[in-house]
């Protein structure tokens, strides 16, 4: 058993976090670590000399719900109880909140031990898009660019689909990105945001009344972005997934969504069809 302590993550630890995720070939850049760290709470495990051996972060969405991510242990120290120690710190820190995460295969056993159970799956898509914009559905209008003045409206509408308010996350994505809004019959029916992340552009969140509308908004964003595009979409969003694949954005893998406690209630017809990231959901 390696001698080890767990403490709260500090900004100076970000470079070490990056080292750990790079060792796993995750696409996080230092900017992506910083983006996630600023929005949440982190724990690091260290050896007696202060060397960082692992990280785990969590993001509160109000008092009832939180997500967990960036759980990673140094390759040379895996299987020694460090992941469990970090998860215990996160679970205690998060209090009575229900917790949700997207689990790698390597992490599933650890999360099961911690009381998480499978609840659907998320599929990662990545590639260079070749898609053309589809014709708009009758009654749908893409209203164009999202601006900061739209934030309150979007966040209010989004809370019904996501299950809880996430204004600060949406503000952070929008601050470094762009987005499109869609309406039907004069009502907000969807939005999609895009930002630089990982190996190129991440499109997410994508929230829409249906998958066809999501496709229209994603297509609109693809016209404005070049290079590698990434989306993380629910496994049961089959129409969107087929369209992505036919547009040159291929499925990389699918991973289990796991929940400890109860899922957030979804209160209207809109669905979250693209994640901000697997960590933030
Ligand atoms: C998943 C991970 C965080 C677990 O941390 P760890 O310190 O190795 O795990 P622990 O030693 O605390 O072990 C906890 C449980 O997970 C199991 N486990 C650990 N590493 C494992 C692996 N590579 N594959 C399968 N199970 C593993 C252990 O066997 C243990 O279960 P047990 O007590 O029944 O034997 C670590 O292996 C890791 O960083 N993997 C690569 C990154 C990753 O996939 N992170 C998860 C993101 S969701």
Q: Which pLDDT does position 280 carry in this prediction?
A: 97
C-beta 79 within 6 A of ligand 1: yes
The CATH number given to 5-96 is: 3.40.630.30
Element (H, E) at 81: none
Ligand 1 centre to CA of 50 (Å) is: 21
Neighbours of 264 (CB within 10 A): 19
Q: Which pLDDT does position 139 carry in this prediction?
A: 66
Neighbours of 82 (CB within 10 A): 24
The CATH number given to 125-274 is: 3.40.630.90
Strands 65-73 and 98-103: parallel
Domain with CATH 3.40.630.90 in the chain: 125-274
Q: Which pLDDT does position 281 carry in this prediction?
A: 93
Cα–Cα distance for residue pair 171/167, rounded to 1 Å? 6
Residues in the chain predicted with pLDDT less than 70, given as ranges, are: 1-2, 131-139, 268
Which residue out of 23, 69, 83, 121 has the highest number of ligand 1 atoms within 8 Å of its CB and is therefore the one to mutate? 83
User: Ligand 1 atom closest to Cα of 102?
Assistant: 48
Bridge partners for 184 per DSSP: 140, 187
Q: Are 86 and 78 in contact (CB under 8 A)?
A: no
Q: Which pLDDT does position 129 carry in this prediction?
A: 80
pTM for the model stands at 0.95
C-beta 83 within 6 A of ligand 1: yes
Domain with CATH 3.40.630.30 in the chain: 5-96
Bridge partners for 199 per DSSP: none
What six digits make up the tokens of 235?
């496994």
pLDDT digits (tens, 9 = 90+) for 155-207: 999 999 999 999 999 999 999 899 999 998 889 999 999 999 999 999 999 99
Q: Which pLDDT does position 133 carry in this prediction?
A: 54
């Amino acid at each position: 058993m390696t001698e080890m302590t767990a403490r709260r993550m500090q900004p100076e630890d970000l470079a070490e976090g990056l080292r750990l995720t790079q060792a796993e070939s995750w696409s996080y850049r230092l900017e992506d670590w910083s983006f996630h760290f600023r929005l949440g709470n982190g724990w690091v495990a260290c050896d007696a000399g202060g060397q960082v051996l692992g990280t785990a972060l969590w993001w509160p969405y109000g008092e009832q719900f939180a997500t967990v991510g960036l759980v990673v242990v140094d390759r040379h120290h895996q299987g020694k109880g460090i992941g469990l120690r970090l998860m215990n710190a996160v679970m205690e820190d998060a209090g009575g909140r229900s917790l949700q995460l997207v689990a790698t295969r390597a992490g599933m056993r650890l999360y099961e031990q911690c009381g998480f159970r499978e609840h659907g799956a998320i599929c990662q898509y990545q590639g260079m898009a070749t898609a053309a914009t589809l014709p708009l559905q009758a009654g749908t209008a893409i209203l164009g660019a999202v601006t900061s003045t739209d934030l309150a409206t979007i966040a209010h509408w989004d809370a019904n689909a996501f299950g809880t308010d996430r204004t600060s996350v949406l503000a952070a994505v929008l601050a470094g990105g762009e987005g499109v809004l869609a309406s039907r019959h004069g009502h907000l029916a969807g939005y999609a945001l895009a930002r630089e992340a990982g190996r190129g552009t991440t499109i997410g969140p994508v929230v829409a009344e249906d998958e066809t509308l999501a496709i229209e908004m994603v297509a609109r964003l693809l016209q404005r972005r070049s290079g590698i595009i990434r989306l993380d979409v629910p496994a049961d969003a089959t129409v969107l997934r087929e369209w992505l694949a036919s547009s040159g954005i291929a499925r990389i893998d699918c991973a289990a969504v796991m929940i400890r406690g109860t899922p957030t209630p979804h209160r209207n017809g809109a669905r979250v069809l693209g994640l901000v990231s697997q960590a933030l959901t």
